[in-house]
Amino acid sequence: MKKKIIDIDQVRYIAHLARLDLSPQEEEKFTHQLERILSYVEKLQELDTKDIPPTSHVLAVNNVFREDELSFSLSSQEALSNAPSRKDSYFKVPKIVG
């Protein structure tokens, strides 16, 4: 018989640490699910990865931003022309922090 990687007591302990209140059915379900996950991770440990460089992405990541280009911009006066309220060269807004 195969040795269990995780048992119900460990699931209860993890649930306690996570402040989860699990029903007995959930404890059984999560014990089985965690067992399968840990078995899969154990199988992955068998792979020889010594010649594989660490990566953060599987595919190459390219910058998709456009190049910066100079373009027309509003002056301060034009930007503030329709402001409901202004003070000097700023938008005036109600105070929201007490």
How much is the pLDDT for 5? 85
Bridge partner list, 87: 90
- The identity of residue 53, as a single letter, is P
What is the full per-residue pLDDT of the chain (98 aa) written as tens digits? 567 789 999 999 999 999 999 999 999 999 999 999 999 999 988 989 889 888 888 888 888 888 888 999 988 889 888 888 988 888 888 888 86
Q: pTM for the full model?
A: 0.49
Residues 6 or more apart whose CB falls under 8 angstroms from that of 38 comprise: 5, 6
Task: Please report the pLDDT score of residue 16 as a whole number.
Answer: 96
Q: Which domains does the chain have, with CATH numbers?
A: 8-44 (1.10.20.60)
Q: How far apart are CA 87 and CA 94, in angstroms?
A: 12
How far apart are the C-alpha atoms of 94 and 63, rounded to whole Å?
A: 39
For residue 49, what pLDDT is reported?
A: 87
pLDDT value, residue 30:
95
Burial of 27 (0-12, 13-18, 19+ CB in 10 A): middle
Is 28 in contact with 8 (CB distance < 8 Å)?
yes
* pLDDT score for 87: 87
Residue in the block written with tokens 């991770």 = 41
